[in-house]
Structure 1
Amino acid sequence: MMAGEFFEYGMITMKKALFLALMSTIGLSAQANDKLSYDYWQFGYIHSEGELTSDKTGFKIDLVGSFNESTYLRYIAQEQTADIWTDNVAGEVTAKEYSVALGWHTPMGRSTDFFAEVGYLKQDAEGIIPGDTYGNDEDGYLANIGIRSRFAANWEYTVFAGYRDIDFSPYVDEVNHEDDNDSVYGLETRYYFSKLWSVGIAVSEEATGLTSGLNLRFTP
């Protein structure tokens, strides 16, 4: 074999090797991350700081189910109650929020995922003070991005940021509310005390104020 033919053969072999390596990498990145599950039921307690109201307390339900290795559906229902004061009249308000979102995730590493969600959001508030503005219904859309990581055998964290296209002012501070208060960001740390059960602590900044929560998750 001449030197030129040998060089040409070597280049073809190298290109084939590079092509096979690239296809292998693409195939690996398309696979689901077996360290993280997108099928779970979650229930917890939430608390938000008050503005023109007392601090708000309530509960949050989070249900997630996967369609395939990269997409999932997420449903959230939460309810918080606070005391309000209107014209020197005190009363209690219960604000409910419902959302459904389509999510997508892809591995960033062996135990870390990037995820994105987009969906529909609805709020419903009920007050006991006649004529108050806290009973208005509002709806809009939401969008979230974030990172989930199972950084140790029993530990997981999630960091996220998002946007809510909805007018929260009837439930917060109608005087000082600003339109740019629709962004959301936060983090959650989770400890798995068994394969099925875990407990999480979450802190986030939302239009309803600084919100914290404690939740219990079941992963079937």
Structure 2
Amino acid sequence: MARRRGWGGSPPGDDAEASRRIIGAAVELIGRTGAEISIADVAESLGVIRQTVYRYFPSADALMTAAAMASVDDFLDRLAAHVRGLGDPAEAMTEAVVYTLTEVRRTPHLGILLSSSYSNAHTDSLTSDEAQAFGMTMIGRFDVDWAAAGYDEAALRELVEYVLRTMQSFFLSPGDPPRNEDDLRRYLRRWMGTAIRAQALDPR
């Protein structure tokens, strides 16, 4: 194990602890600044050199993704509570998108997953394993019988990608003026909801 410097005088015991502490520092910085942070920012907060952070995270994008994913558990709990009892897949997903777009402006860590600068720097972010895991975890908490609605594993993963792309588009360009929540619900029910329900009619 490579020599570690800094760490506030208390070096981590192993690589797993080092990774957790780096992610924890990134989460704290994002929460405090409400913006993306750099490898240098995290290294400085830990009292280590940048190369130490790069050993565990090869790029700022990788660290930002890890920090964002580590920070969304509370959001997922709130989202699950918000859509509880909605068994219709289109209604559940419509409410999930409206709720997420509202919350993303109050949750810096979540916003990073959909932010323009992050997505432009990392064009595969929406189809990455981390983004897919986030989306699959999200819809897995819904009170929806996805199999009865015609969704197998492959279809669910395509649905997750579609919904992530939809949310990103609204996050990047909410409209001028932006739709209010009721108008956004009507729009999503008509277009996204129709596509979601179509899977039950033609599961191919």
TM bin, normalised by shorter chain, reads under 0.3
The two structures have a TM-score, normalised by structure 1, of 0.23
* Greater helix fraction, Structure 1 or Structure 2: 2
* Greater strand fraction, Structure 1 or Structure 2: 1
Select the structure with the greater relative contact order (CA < 8 A; seq sep ≥ 6). Answer: 2
The two structures have a TM-score, normalised by structure 2, of 0.24
Question: Which of structures 1 and 2 has the bigger CA Rg?
Answer: 1
